[in-house]
């Protein structure tokens, strides 16, 4: 099952390169930072969608 169109071998290669570049001690910290960033990004996009849905007129409001 590809994740973001990345197969398992590509994912292993990316993780290996990250391990070499960042180092084993900093890798969990970097993973947490990336995860937190993605979580905040998803929350922000959902908040924007919710705001757009609130401001979008309903069919009853369009009739008036």
Residue 61 zone, left/alpha/beta (φ > 0; ψ -120 to 50; rest): alpha
Using alpha carbons only, give the angle 35, 38, 40 rounded to the nearest 5 degrees: 110
Give the burial string for 5-29 (b: 16+ CB within 10 Å, else e): eeeeeeeeeeeeeeeeeeeeeeeee
Instruction: Decide: helix, strand or coil at residue 5.
Output: coil
Residue 23 zone, left/alpha/beta (φ > 0; ψ -120 to 50; rest): left
Residue ranges of the domains in the chain? 24-63
Q: What is the pTM of this model?
A: 0.57
Q: Does residue 3 have a pLDDT over 70? A: no
pLDDT, tens digit, 9 for 90 and up, residues 5-61: 888 899 889 889 988 998 989 989 988 998 999 999 999 999 999 888 877 776 666
């Amino acid at each position: 099952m590809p994740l973001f169109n990345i197969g398992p071998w590509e994912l292993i290669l990316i993780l290996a390169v990250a391990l070499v570049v960042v180092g084993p001690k900093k890798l969990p910290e970097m993973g947490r930072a990336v995860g937190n960033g993605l979580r905040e990004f998803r929350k922000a996009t959902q908040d924007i969608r919710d705001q757009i849905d609130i401001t979008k007129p309903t069919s009853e409001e369009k009739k008036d």
